[in-house]
Amino acid sequence: MDKKDLLKKFNNSDDRMLLSKILDRAEKTETSGTVMFTDFLDPHQQKLVEKALSSQPGVKLTFFSGYPGAERAIAVLSPNDVVSEDDCDKRPPVKLLNIAIKSRNILTHRDFLGALMALGIKREKIGDIFVREDSCSVLVMEDIAEYIRTNLTKAGNSELDTEITNVSEISVPEPKVKEISSTVASLRLDSIASVGFGISRSKMTEFIKAEKVSLNWEAVSSTSKIVKESDTISIKGKGRVVVKSVGGMTKKGRIGIKLERML
């Protein structure tokens, strides 16, 4: 399929820009036999890439995330005659940063991500972030690892000490979540998100209309979008909520829901 015709199938301009770059890399892989890598992709972007490359029979698509169950992953584009990862002549250029907090302050995922972004680093250069009480581990593209090690010295009011290591040494902590049980009048996005994030419905409406809210990692602007079980709702700077279950109607005609908010 022609690249221009393929991109017409995607309405979002950011999606088209991303896929245009990846299709160029796929073409290089097919013509030169070179293994190519993308930066980190969120789950929505991963699905887009899978859909776009389904029409590229000469390219094999796999994803590298660093550990099972990761959220963000790198797309690996290899010639179609490569039958296993061991046949690739290169590995995804990823490093693991271990960041120690040199104080007793408690830092959050938002603190660490904010400190990294303040260095001028684009989000796609950063993979999953694991926060512990006294440290943090971050997957990053290899080309920025040394820059971060040298310049990431503070997050919030805490001094930091950063070292670079291999992805194979990763240790994933148990995620911290807050379980929320409630009832709602409907499964509209504004209603569910309001409960999950503890924000008034009117304020949530403002966030949604400003496209600061994503449903399954895709920005939405409709407050009436219907949310389903297993959906993920995220707000820039405020984390994310997963819809764990949707129950039946109560006697008052409301719907029971169970949510998990990632802390």
Domain of residue 25 covers 3-84
One domain, residues 60 and 76 = yes
Residue 90's pLDDT is what? Answer: 60
> Would you say residue 89 lies in a domain?
no
Of 105, 103, 124, nearest to 113 by C-alpha is 124
Q: Is 33 helix (H, G, I), strand (E, B) or coil?
A: coil
- CATH code assigned at 210: 3.10.290.10
The alpha helices in the chain, defined as continuous H runs, are 3-7, 13-32, 43-53, 109-117, 142-151, 189-197, 201-209
> Would you say residue 192 lies in a domain?
yes
- CATH code assigned at 153: 3.30.70.330
**pTM value?**
0.88
Residues in the chain: 263
Residue 64's pLDDT is what? Answer: 94
> Would you say residue 20 lies in a domain?
yes
**Number of domains forming the structure of the chain:** 3
Q: Is the dihedral of CA 110, 66, 234, 48 positive or negative?
A: positive
> Would you say residue 67 lies in a domain?
yes
- CATH code assigned at 18: 3.30.1370.160
One domain, residues 182 and 154 = no
Residue 88's pLDDT is what? Answer: 43
> Would you say residue 241 lies in a domain?
yes
For 117, other C-beta atoms within 10 Å of its C-beta total 12
Tens-of-pLDDT digits for all 263 residues of the chain?
578 888 888 888 899 999 999 999 999 999 998 899 999 999 999 999 999 998 888 899 999 999 998 999 999 999 987 554 444 446 789 999 999 999 988 898 889 999 999 999 999 999 999 999 899 999 999 999 999 999 999 998 899 999 999 999 999 988 889 999 999 999 999 999 999 999 999 999 999 999 999 999 999 999 999 999 999 999 988 889 999 999 999 999 999 999 999 87
Residue 237's pLDDT is what? Answer: 80
Residue 82's pLDDT is what? Answer: 59
> Would you say residue 12 lies in a domain?
yes
Q: Is 78 helix (H, G, I), strand (E, B) or coil?
A: strand
Contact 19, 12 (CB under 8 A): no
Last residue of a domain, one of 84, 107, 125: 84
One domain, residues 182 and 258 = yes
Last residue of a domain, one of 48, 64, 84: 84
